[in-house]
Amino acid sequence: MIWPRISIVTPSFNQGAYLGSCLRSVLSQDYPNLDYIVIDGGSRDNSVEIIGRYESQLSTWLSEPDEGHFPALEKGFARASGEIMGWLNSDDLYLPWTLRVVGTIFAVLPEVRWITSQYPVLVDREGLAVQTRRLDGFNRRAFYRGRNVPLNPFFYTGFIQQESTFWRRSLWEQAGSHLDATLPLASEFELWARFWEHADLYAVGVPLAGFRVQPEQKTSWGQGRYLREAELVLDHYGQPRPGLLETMARRLLRLLPRRCWRWLPENVAYSSRVISATEVEHRSFVWRIVQEKFI
Amino acid sequence: MTLPTISIVTPSLNQGRFLGGCMDSVLRQSYPRVEYVVIDGGSTDGSLEILRQHSKSLKYWRSAPDQGQIAALDEGFSKTSGEIMAWINSDDQYVPWAFQVVADVFQAFPQVEWLTTLYPLIMDEAGRVLSCRRTEGYNRTAFYRGRNLRREGGFYSFVIQQESTFWRRSLWERAGAHLDESLHLAGDFELWARFFSFADLYSLAVPLGCFRFQESSLSYEQGDLYRRECEEVLGRYGVKPPGRTEQHIRRWARNLPSRWLRIPRLAYCVKLVEHAGRGRSWILRQAWIV
């Protein structure tokens, strides 16, 4: 198997306390074909010194004032050369196997254009994993109706965890090779919405990254604003969001035995695609795509 | 509060390919108080080199022909003194946060005497994690009836993943402070059976260890012998597996939503440890399985 080239961008700004463990989590994987780019927004803490320590293992890095998180990311992606792309914020972490699992999946499953993990991990301030859970899979229509953003808390089940999401360059280019600068917080959500126009998201049955829960985080202080931005994005696609009646009906339908779900119509029980390694004759494992349903 | 010492034993025999990865996963934990013992059965494949390189970080190691894995483990544990104990086979690995999280939970809850994960991981020979799954948790009665022993009939759910299981020394001592050396392979299963007679097993909502899947895995090649030994162990406790009618009722009941599962005489209680939301605090929770 030829390892596909993976480009990872880390945008950083005054996160010196966490930046070192972020960089180590990427570089200690020894992924054989890595293109790692760090874009610092002119940090005034020890960030630049930390980046300097790993300089020899980075493809590119720079430190200069920029217009914020998402413009920094765009700057990074413009310098990326890999066939597979993803980004890791300076306070988050990959797990020791992440890049090799991602590289393998994209190498053996050509029809897969973007993936995320079905088991998002939360890490605490010290970088310890404190929580995992298993998500439903993902579905285009369900996404546009608000399944992956907590606008209607009874329909919502879980975010698409950004640090666990990876895509092919062809998809990035088809979707316009950019992040939406008009959304200061929910740009990633808007990117997913554009990706969904072109390709289905596959859920991988392996944890891939840890999101660091910390009080000063942008996404927690801006939760309300994030939701309003996400709502704008969904409005643009114009899929009706489930009302109270539908939400109640769904809760009832979930009481049906799982094996009956496949008899329900597609707009009731959404189908999702999950990538999991299945055992073959107790001898080896093969990555396969299985279809699952959720209500 | 002083941190408890975690004692880890690795029995090793000709797994030089993987031994380095295994030992690194123990020695590179961010947790400061680790006591690591490696008992090698006289490897001839380069394992010795790896052991020598790491010898400064080891509490004890030796390499000589021995009576096999289970005896090696007993010997290893006799060299340890930490309050928290576990073993890891030479081809398996811990995840980087395992010890810190385990020590946290043992410190927070005196009633937790042994602990495993809800999310066992399996990795391949190249160290890629292949599978993660959400298990249901573990219960004493269900265990004795065969819930965690892979066999026909539909009652089995999942094994107790050995590389993700940790216990207090006090439990180890109450259970006799030894493994059953009359068994060849099922030493872990027999130990769980004894532990269950003293304490409930709690499961933690983060992965802790990875089992390495390889075609020549000891317990894989000899899966049949392992299963027969486990059957023999369960036989010692004389608890009957569910009959056919009960199986049907259970299968039907599994369709119910989880909060309705608390059916008297049918449901088993499992104990879970979950993250409390903020900071590094944990909560205990019960759930029901059928």
Any idea which residue has 């059976």 for tokens?
B193
Asked if the model's pLDDT at residue B2 lies above 60, the reply is yes
* A43: DSSP letter: -
Residue A227 CB partners (closer than 8 Å, separation 6+): A149, A150, A151
Alpha helix stretches (DSSP H) within A28-179: 47-53, 69-78, 98-108, 140-144, 169-174
Asked if the model's pLDDT at residue B239 lies above 90, the reply is no
State the best of A121, A130, A252 to mutate against chain B, taking most chain B CBs within 10 Å. Answer: A130
> What pLDDT is stored for residue B151 in this prediction?
82
- Looking at the DSSP bridge assignments, the partners of residue B210 are B93, B121
β-bridge pairing B84-87 and B166-168: antiparallel
Mean pLDDT, rounded, for A143-148: 94
> Which helix or strand (DSSP H or E) is residue A273 part of?
strand A270-280
d(CA A130, CA B282): 9
Q: Which residues of B are less than 8 Å from A121 in CB distance?
A: 206
d(CA A293, CA A273): 9
Do residue A277 and residue B100 have CB atoms under 8 angstroms apart?
no
- Looking at the DSSP bridge assignments, the partners of residue A94 are A209
User: Could you tell me the strand order of the sheet in which A201-204 lies?
Assistant: A60-63, A34-40, A6-12, A84-87, A166-168, A114-117, A201-204, A270-280, A284-294
β-bridge pairing A34-40 and A6-12: parallel
Tell me which residues of chain A, numbers 189 to 228, contact chain B at a CB-CB cutoff of 8 Å: 205-207, 213
- Sign of the C-alpha dihedral, residues B13, B16, B21, B25? positive
pLDDT in tens, A65-89: 988 889 999 999 999 999 999 999 9
pLDDT in tens, A27-44: 998 899 999 999 999 999
pLDDT band at B100; cut points 50, 70, 90 = very high
pLDDT in tens, B135-160: 999 999 999 999 999 887 788 889 99
> What pLDDT is stored for residue B217 in this prediction?
55
Alpha carbon separation from A27 to A32, A54, A59, A93, B221 (Å, rounded):
10, 9, 12, 11, 35
Do residue B215 and residue A284 have CB atoms under 8 angstroms apart?
yes
Asked if the model's pLDDT at residue A8 lies above 60, the reply is yes
> What pLDDT is stored for residue A220 in this prediction?
54
Asked if the model's pLDDT at residue B259 lies above 80, the reply is no
Please report, rounded to a whole number, the percentage of residues in chain A having pLDDT higher than 70. Answer: 96
Q: Which residues of A are less than 8 Å from B257 in CB distance?
A: 254-255
B203 CA: distance to closest CA in chain A (Å): 12
Do residue A129 and residue B97 have CB atoms under 8 angstroms apart?
yes
Asked if the model's pLDDT at residue B219 lies above 90, the reply is no
Asked if the model's pLDDT at residue A57 lies above 80, the reply is yes
> What pLDDT is stored for residue A261 in this prediction?
87
Q: pLDDT: is B95 or B277 the higher one? A: B95
Do residue B100 and residue A126 have CB atoms under 8 angstroms apart?
yes
> What pLDDT is stored for residue B216 in this prediction?
61
Return the top range by mean pLDDT from A144-158, B25-39, B217-231, B269-283.
B25-39
Closest CA to B9 of B79, B66, B68, B67: B79
d(CA A95, CA A107): 20
Residue of B96, B132, B278 lying closest to A205 (CB–CB): B132
A283 touches chain B (CB under 8 A): yes
> What pLDDT is stored for residue A116 in this prediction?
97
d(CA A149, CA A239): 14
Residue A230 CB partners (closer than 8 Å, separation 6+): A149, A151, A186, A189
Do residue A205 and residue B133 have CB atoms under 8 angstroms apart?
yes
State residue B94 phi and psi, 5-degree precision: -90, 155
Do residue B130 and residue A127 have CB atoms under 8 angstroms apart?
no
Mean pLDDT, rounded, for A257-281: 87
Calculate the average pLDDT of chain A. Answer: 90
Asked if the model's pLDDT at residue B92 lies above 70, the reply is yes
pLDDT in tens, A174-226: 999 999 888 888 899 999 999 999 999 999 999 999 998 876 555 555 678 88
Encoded amino acid at B61, one letter: W
Asked if the model's pLDDT at residue B221 lies above 70, the reply is no
Do residue B256 and residue A131 have CB atoms under 8 angstroms apart?
no
Do residue B207 and residue A207 have CB atoms under 8 angstroms apart?
yes
Residue B159 CB partners (closer than 8 Å, separation 6+): B120, B148, B149, B150
pLDDT in tens, B162-208: 999 999 999 999 999 999 999 988 999 999 999 999 999 999 999 99
Own/partner contacts of B151-156, CB < 8 Å, gap of 24 or more, are B151/B227, B151/B231, B153/B241, B153/B242, B153/B247, B154/B247, B154/B250, B154/B251, B155/B241, B155/B242, B155/B247, B155/B250
Print burial letters for A146-160: b (CB count within 10 Å at least 16), e (below 16): bbbbbbbeebeebbb
d(CA A262, CA A259): 7
Alpha carbon separation from A256 to A128, A264, B190 (Å, rounded):
38, 10, 39
Alpha carbon separation from A282 to A104, A275, B211, B221, B222 (Å, rounded):
21, 19, 15, 10, 12
Asked if the model's pLDDT at residue B263 lies above 90, the reply is no
Closest CA to A64 of A54, A75, A53: A75
Do the Cβ atoms of B132 and A119 come closer than 8 Å? yes
Q: Which residues of A are less than 8 Å from B95 in CB distance?
A: 95-96, 129
Residue of A nearest to B281 (CA): A130
Asked if the model's pLDDT at residue A125 lies above 90, the reply is no
B233 touches chain A (CB under 8 A): no
Quote the ipTM score: 0.88
pLDDT band at B234; cut points 50, 70, 90 = very high
Encoded amino acid at A82, one letter: G
* A116: DSSP letter: E
d(CA A279, CA B156): 17
Alpha carbon separation from A253 to A143, A153, A259, A263, B262 (Å, rounded):
19, 17, 12, 12, 21
Own/partner contacts of B224-227, CB < 8 Å, gap of 24 or more, are B225/B184, B225/B185, B226/B185, B226/B186, B226/B189, B227/B149, B227/B150, B227/B151
Q: A1-100 belongs to which homologous superfamily? A: Spore Coat Polysaccharide Biosynthesis Protein SpsA; Chain A (3.90.550.10)
Domain ranges of chain B: 6-289
B205 CA: distance to closest CA in chain A (Å): 6
pLDDT in tens, B108-142: 999 999 999 999 999 988 889 999 999 999 999 99
- Looking at the DSSP bridge assignments, the partners of residue A293 are A271
Asked if the model's pLDDT at residue B70 lies above 70, the reply is yes
d(CA A40, CA A35): 16
pLDDT band at A249; cut points 50, 70, 90 = very high
Do residue B30 and residue A121 have CB atoms under 8 angstroms apart?
no
Residue B51 in tokens: 């052991």
Please report, rounded to a whole number, the percentage of residues in chain A having pLDDT higher than 90. Answer: 69
Residue of B nearest to A25 (CA): B96
Q: Please write down the HEC assignment for all residues of chain B.
A: CCCCCEEEEEEECCCHHHHHHHHHHHHCCCCCCEEEEEEECCCCCCHHHHHHHHHHHCCEEEECCCCCHHHHHHHHHHCCCCCEEEECCCCCEECCCHHHHHHHHHHHCCCCCEEEECCCEEECCCCCEEEECCCCCCCHHHHHCCCCCCCCCCCCCCCCCHHHCEEEHHHHHHCCCCCCCCCCCCHHHHHHHHHHCCCCEEEECCCCEEEECCCCCHHHHCHHHHHHHHHHHHHHHCCCCCCHHHHHHHHHHCCCCHHHCCCCCCCEEEEEEEECCCCCCEEEEEEEEC
Q: B6-289 belongs to which homologous superfamily? A: Spore Coat Polysaccharide Biosynthesis Protein SpsA; Chain A (3.90.550.10)
Asked if the model's pLDDT at residue B89 lies above 90, the reply is yes
pLDDT band at A281; cut points 50, 70, 90 = low
